[in-house]
Structure 1
Amino acid sequence: MSGSHPASVYCQIDKTSFFTISDDEKVLHLVRDQFAQELERLKRAYSITNPNATLPSTASPSQILFGSQFDEVNRTLVGLIALRWIYNDQYDTFRGAQPDAVALTRESFNWMRHLFKAGLQSDDDFTALLTSIVINDLGKDPQLASDYRAKTGEDISAQNHDRIVLKAAEAGLVPSLNRLPREHKDDILRSMKLGAELNFGQLAQAENVPVCLTSLFELRGHPRVFELCFMEQLLDIAGASGHEDWTCANHLIQPLLESYRNVYDAAQATISGGMEPRDAYNLILVRRSQLLRDQGFRQLEIVNPNDRALTRLLCMGRATDLSTAQLYDSVWGDLEPEIKDSLVADLNVDGSVDRPAVQATYAPALLTKGVDASGPGSSDEKRRRLQSLLRYLARVLKPASTPLNSSAVVIERSVLMVAQYIAESDEFRANPAILDEMEVADSVVAQTARGV
């Protein structure tokens, strides 16, 4: 192990034992013993459920540890077990029941495995990643913001969960971080700060905006932090369906992995200075348009504001197949002119002090749950749902009427509550226009200009 701190001082699970213990259940119990307080928070974390999901017959990680189903505990622990599958070259287990048409390829799995092998050279590397995985979603526990307010007097409950856990960690409210040596704690805090301003999943789905990539400038002397953050977010997406299927990394299919490889390339180009943030961001859009073009979709020109806005919607709607892309294109062409003009204008804002960009957090969940492109319903029903969703999104993305902060470059408005409503209620399917009556969430400053 590198450094002067023996692993046993702050880590009950070393790298060797984590990857060589054959029994997943034993590993889960070791994780529970080491991260007891963090897992208790994850029991309270909010999530978007699917009441129609068919669960595996085997016990879930949270059932093994706590005797009950806890969605975010399962998602976190499946991401953690996925690290074992990757490192130990268990491709078939990792892929599991992914549909053949979109299943992760062996080549992509090997690319990930190489990334993790290179990034986990020591017990210190492993401990930092393990801790990052477990604490990643603690901000989804409402009690964490309450505890932060009790300690500091500041109310951060309206901020996104990445910023909540970052501020809580800085305030000493994340016990596992406090057990780490200072240098490793600092690396994780830098990674968390990057994740709070540049969520790679949001970038992969074009949910955030180009100015978010400026946070990568601060990593030009800390390449290890980027690798740590990227590995953690890959595992986060590997466990994203862990509350519905804990037998494999069901969510990390080939199109999604390709989008993360695009993020990796865009981020590396930004850190190295090879691309400006807008050009790096456009790389994500260009590659999505190429993916769809290869399937027979029409050519999209990212330099055209209209096509660029549509491509962002295709990314946010996770449109990786021809039929879904054609559904979006058809609805896009028939949108009311004022709605379309509004979306084109606001989806092309990069984010600056003069014109802060509005980011609709959880927009991918809103669109995918709302449209349900591969689910039941006629094409006309899906068109009506998407039309309503885009009308609502146009309202969400409207610029703030008054500046919340003179240095703000990104304003967030969460659509989480509406996404949860759509997922859990039949009212929207019966009457998509009901979204026209939904209020838009309050604005929250998500990023300020660098150095401000």
Structure 2
Amino acid sequence: MDWFFKFICSKQMVPQSLRDACAYPDSLFALPQDDLLRMVYQEFTNDLDRLKRAYSIRSCQQTSFTTQSPSYILYQADYDEVNRTLVGFLALRWIHLGEYENFVGSQPPNVRLNREPFEWIREFYSKVIVDADALYTLITSIVINDLGKDPQLASDYQNITGVDIADLNHDAILLKAFTVGLVQSLEKLPVHYKDDLVRGIELGATFNFGQLAQAENVPACLSGLLSMKDTPRSFNFRFMEQLLDISGAAGHMDCTCAKKLIQPIFDSYRNVYDACQSVIAGTSNLREGYDLILSRRAQFLHEKGFPLLHVNDLHHRALVRLLCMGNVTTRDKADMFKDTWDSLETSVRDKLEYALNLDGVSGRPAVQATYMPAFLSQIGDKESLTCAWRYLARLMTLEESIDLSVLVIERSMLSVMKQYVETGKFDKDPTVLESIDVPEGVVALTTAID
């Protein structure tokens, strides 16, 4: 603990915890990385231990770290979600210190985040972090964000309430767990900052910034933004945390930088920020806010030579959603998506066009295909994409009668990703999807959100 003694002496203070050290952020973030991570672990031991059990999505490629990962430093073993979370925290350190080169690190040169957006993030961070409690609150938000991925959290909730919530998305599980006192770290926060995070968690249970960036969710999911009108600080905390979440998203593969927050992804999140602000301000309705994401992707690809698609045309709009879901940023891949779309069987294309244009209203609920973007973004050939879209058409079709209060049904691709993508079975034979049943649906949003 020599570093801690030097830290104390250098500031003539006696901080007993990370929370105390947040009053001196320059000194805090100047600590050696290993010591800084251990300080976080001391503060959030139970939360990080939960993340050891959390599920994650991997490609079939094996990860080989060239340096010790954050979880290895703490546990002498690699845990994906611990690494993702702590790389998100390290991204906060790089932002605070203005370490642009460390932040972009090994990002591919052709899509590397430019310095101007990095400075935009730093300016936004400075607006959010106005005092020591705000910094501690943001760090808390980073650490607890993915606790719902720990299956034990849903089990603990069921033990207390008798209610099984295991099929809910991880944000909704986190919210439920908080209501019965299972997220103890929130209780350490000042009341006003705790309220900010809870409002953000409530928003996250039905609305995810990344899902909007990828057009994975539907317009009805933006309804939670309406509650943010009078609480801008709550929204800012949530948005900042989400930028850090995407910064650490590849932390289980590369823990040396903010690998995933490349320029195209940042542009997507800026578009999300603008869309959210327009809905919160009341200058756009839910559909208009959502379509801002689609129209900007269409314009982005048009500037690369791809034909301009118009979101007021339902045929075009469906294709733009697929381009967003596939994270398509190049002309070649956009052409492949369009060729595949044009060559789909009419019955499949019609089903997709109808489903992809549903907003989520009473009597006509929409299906949210969770983790479908993670699936589509890994596909690089027309045959595989055709099989994926045939499966998506089945997944997004609702045959059963639905209660009129239901607006959004969520069907998760997680099990398909784990059983067929991570194992390489899909790559070997894309038609394997034809024999797979679609996952069960879970009600994600109703007219009366509880």
Shift of 1:208: 0.3
Shift of 1:261: 0.1
Distance in 1 between the 2:253 and 2:117 partners? Answer: 24
Q: What is the CA distance between 1:115 and its match in structure 2?
A: 0.6
1:294 aligned to which of 278, 284, 303: 303
1:270-281 equivalence runs, <5 A: 270-281=279-290
Task: Within 5 Å, give how 1:96-115 maps onto structure 2.
Answer: 96-115=105-124
Q: Distance in 1 between matches of 2:422 and 2:154?
A: 25
Count, aligned residues: 435
Shift of 1:15: 4.7
- The Cα of 1:138 is off from its aligned counterpart by 0.6
Identify the residue that residue 387 of structure 2 maps to in structure 1. Answer: 388
Distance 1:15 1:98 in 2: 32
Q: Distance in 1 between matches of 2:443 and 2:449?
A: 15
Deviations 1:346-397 (CA, angstroms, capped at 9, x unpaired)? 000001112111101111112123x1x3xxxxxxxx1110000000111111
Q: Does 1:121 align with 2:125?
A: no
Deviation at 1:262, TM superposition (A): 0.2
- State the match for 2:335 in structure 1: 326
Question: Which residue in 2 is equivalent to 1:378?
Answer: none
Tell me how far apart the structure 1 counterparts of residues 204 and 250 of structure 2 sit (CA, whole Å).
20
Q: Which amino acid aligns with 1:435?
A: L
State the match for 2:22 in structure 1. Answer: 14
Is the counterpart of residue 233 in structure 1 residue 231 in structure 2?
no
**Partner Cα distance (1:141, 1:20) in 2:** 29
**1:150-299 alignment runs, 5 A limit:** 150-299=159-308
Distance of 2:65 and 2:76 partners within structure 1: 15
Paired position in structure 2 for 1:37: 46
Q: Secondary structure at the match of 2:295?
A: helix
1:431, distance to aligned residue in structure 2 (A): 1.6
Amino acid at match of 1:402: S
Query: Whole-Å Cα distance in 1 between the matches of residues 367 and 60 of structure 2?
Result: 31
| Map of 2:355 onto structure 1 | 346
Q: Deviations over 1:292-312 (max 9, x none)?
A: 111111110111111100100
Whole-angstrom CA distance in 2 between matches of 1:19 and 1:401:
55
Contact between 2:18 and 2:40, CA under 8 Å: does it hold in 1?
Answer: no
Verify the 8 A CA contact 1:210 1:350 in the aligned structure 2: yes
SS at match of 1:101: helix
Aligned to 1:90: 99
Instruction: Verify the 8 A CA contact 1:366 1:416 in the aligned structure 2.
Output: no
Structure 2 counterpart of 1:26, one-letter code: D
In structure 2, do the counterparts of structure 1 residues 451 and 415 end up closer, same or farther at CA, with 3 Å as the change threshold? closer
Q: Does 1:367 align with 2:366?
A: no
CA distance in structure 1 between the aligned counterparts of 2:20 and 2:394, rounded to whole angstroms:
49
Match of 1:433 in 2: 431
1:37–1:175 CA contact under 8 A, matched in 2: no
Equivalent residue in structure 1 for 2:32, among 9, 23, 29 = 23
Residue in 1 aligned with 2:4? Answer: none
Deviation, 1:50, is 3.0
Q: For the residues of structure 1 that align with 2:45 and 2:415, how far apart are their CA atoms?
A: 29
CA deviation vs aligned residue, 1:51-70 (integer Å, no higher than 9, x gap): 42453311000000000000
Question: Deviations for 1:135-162, whole angstroms, at most 9, x for unmatched residues?
Answer: 0101111100000000111100010111
Moved more, 178-187 or 257-266: 178-187
In 2, the alpha carbon distance for the partners of 1:187 and 1:451 equals: 19
* Structure 1 position 416 matched with structure 2 position 414: yes
2-structure distance, mates of 1:31, 1:142:
23
Q: Which moved more, 1:85-94 or 1:47-56?
A: 47-56
CA contact (8 A) 1:166 1:192 kept: yes
The percentage of aligned residue pairs carrying the same residue is 47
CA spacing shift, 1:133–1:406, aligned 2, 3 Å: same
TM-score, with length taken from structure 1: 0.93
TM superposition outliers: structure 1 runs of 4+ over 6 Å: 7-10
3-state secondary structure, aligned to 1:446: strand
Aligned-partner Cα distance in 1 for 2:341–2:23: 50
Matches of 2:112 and 2:62, distance apart in 1: 19
Q: Please list the CA deviations of residues 264-316 of structure 1 after superposition, one character each: whole Å capped at 9, or x if unmatched.
A: 00001111111111111100001101111111111101111111001001101
Alpha carbons 1:400, 1:443 under 8 Å: kept: no
Which letter maps to 2:58?
T
Give the letter aligned to residue 114 of structure 1: E
In structure 2, relative to structure 1, the CA distance for the partners of 1:153 and 1:44 (3 Å cut) is same
Deviation at 1:21, TM superposition (A): 2.7
Give, in whole Å, the separation in 1 of the partners of 2:413 and 2:64: 27
CA deviation after TM superposition for structure 1 residue 421, in Å: 2.5
Determine if the alignment matches structure 1 residue 148 to structure 2 residue 157. yes
Q: Secondary structure at the match of 1:323?
A: helix
Change (3 A) 1:51 1:16: farther
Letter in 2 for 1:397: M
Normalization by structure 2: what TM-score? 0.94
The answer to whether the Cα contact below 8 Å between 1:145 and 1:157 also exists between their aligned partners in 2 is: yes
- 2-structure distance, mates of 1:84, 1:344: 44
Name the residue aligned to 2:441: 443
2:109 aligned counterpart, secondary structure? coil
Which stretches in structure 2 are left out of the alignment for 5+ residues? 1-14
- Are the equivalent residues in 1 in contact too, given 2:371–2:414 (CA < 8 A)? yes
Letter in 2 for 1:419: M
Gaps of 5+ in 1: 1-6, 374-381
Distance 1:71 1:11 in 2: 26
Q: Which AA in structure 1 matches 2:175?
A: L
How well do the aligned residues superpose, as a CA RMSD in angstroms?
1.6
Aligned match for 2:318, one of 295, 299, 309: 309
